[in-house]
Structures are given as structure tokens and as C-alpha cells.
A and B are shown apart, each in its own frame.
Chain A
Amino acid sequence: MTPRTVIGEGDLLPSVALVDHEGNPWSVEQHRGRPIVLILHRHLA
């Protein structure tokens, strides 16, 4: 399996399709122009 690329500070975040709490598609691109703080959780315990 080919390891995925890890981006570094200064790199453009590639498009990643996510799903929000209402079941809708969500992506960073939809919010371009606004800073975003991503809090990557460990699990839902």
C-alpha cells in the first residue's frame, strides 16, 4: 500500500470530502476566505 502524502505548513490542503453532523457533504473549499481551526478528535468516548 502506498503511503499517503503528508502535507506541511504552507502547503495547500487538498480537497477532502467530509460529512457533517446533519449528513451533508462538507469541505474546506466551501469555507475558503475564512480561517478554520481543525480539531481532529481521537474517538467519541
Chain B
Amino acid sequence: VIAVRDHLDQLGDTLPVVVTFTDDPRRLAAYREHLNVGFPVLADVDRILYDLLGAGRGSIRKVWSPGTLAMYGRLLLRGRRLHVPTEDTRQLGADAIIGRDGRLHRIWLPESPDARPPIESIIDAMRDCNS
């Protein structure tokens, strides 16, 4: 999210959207403020979009892999305050690009929480989508 937020100038008229599956949509506004983003933060409570895009749940071993622990370690070193999650920690995320025609142009499905695509890959895919 932060990488997208910090590269908006390279994304043209693309609309970034953060999707969560929180069952308490009232938390979204505070979370949006926490992320310091100007784009929408959404709730997909029933995980319909997650399912449609194939964003599954990871095994405990993959979700709490050394890479994941290192990722949280880096966040702590940067001063990020972490909270004990009350939601499904095994739900993996995904990144996707929807084209102007409403079709899925590109999807990244990470096998572990720390395996998100670099921002350069997203920017390249956006350019390809617009060409």
C-alpha cells in the first residue's frame, strides 16, 4: 500500500484501492488514516472478491515463514506499532490490476505474506494495460 501511495505519480489515472475483509467496516476510516492514503479502503466482509481472484489461505508454516517474521521485524525497526490481529491471519492477500474494460489484466497471488510484487512490476503492468 505504501509503495503504491508513494508512486501515484507513475500510475497515471489509475485508481488504487485497498481491500480488506474486516467484519467491522467502521474500522476502515481509522485504518485509512493510519495508512495515510487518499484512495478508498474497502471491506469485502464475505471475501467474495478474495475468492474470485483466488486469494487463498496459507499454511501456518508459510504464513509465519522466516520471511514474514523478517518483514515484521523491519516494520518494528521503522517504529511501526504492531497489534495482535483479531482476524484470520492465514488469509493471504493479492494484488490485481483491472483494466478500463473491467477485465482482470494481471494478478499476483503471493504464497506467503512477504511475497508481494515490487512496485516496479505493478507500474510496468499498468503501462502494459494502458498500451
Binding site for A on B (CB under 8 A): 1, 4, 11-22, 25-29, 31-32, 40-45, 48-55, 82-85, 87-89, 91-107, 113, 122, 126, 129-130
Cβ-defined contact, B84 with A45, below 8 A:
yes
Q: Tell me the interface secondary structure of chain B in the complex.
A: mixed
Q: Is the CB of A35 within 8 A of B100?
A: yes
Q: Mark A10-45, 1 if CB is under 8 A from B, else 0.
A: 111110101111110010110111111111111111
Give A39 to B27 CA distance when docked, in angstroms: 17
Per the CB 8 Å criterion, the residue count for chain A at the interface is: 36
In the complex, the number of residue pairs spanning A and B with C-beta atoms less than 8 Å apart equals 164
Chain B neighbourhood of A35, CB < 8 A: 12-15, 97-100, 105, 126, 129-130
Give the chain A neighbours of B126 by CB distance below 8 A: 35, 37
Cβ contacts under 8 Å, B104 to chain A: 7-13
Interchain CB contact under 8 A, B40 and A20: yes
Q: How far is the CB of B56 from chain A (nearest CB, A)?
A: 9
Q: How far is the CA of A38 from the CA of B100 in the complex (A)?
A: 13
Chain A: CB-nearest residue to B12: A35
23 inter-chain pairs at a CB distance below 8 angstroms, sorted by A residue, are A6-B51, A6-B52, A7-B104, A9-B105, A9-B107, A18-B19, A18-B44, A19-B42, A20-B28, A21-B32, A32-B102, A35-B105, A36-B15, A36-B17, A37-B122, A39-B17, A40-B50, A41-B18, A41-B19, A43-B20, A43-B89, A44-B22, A44-B87
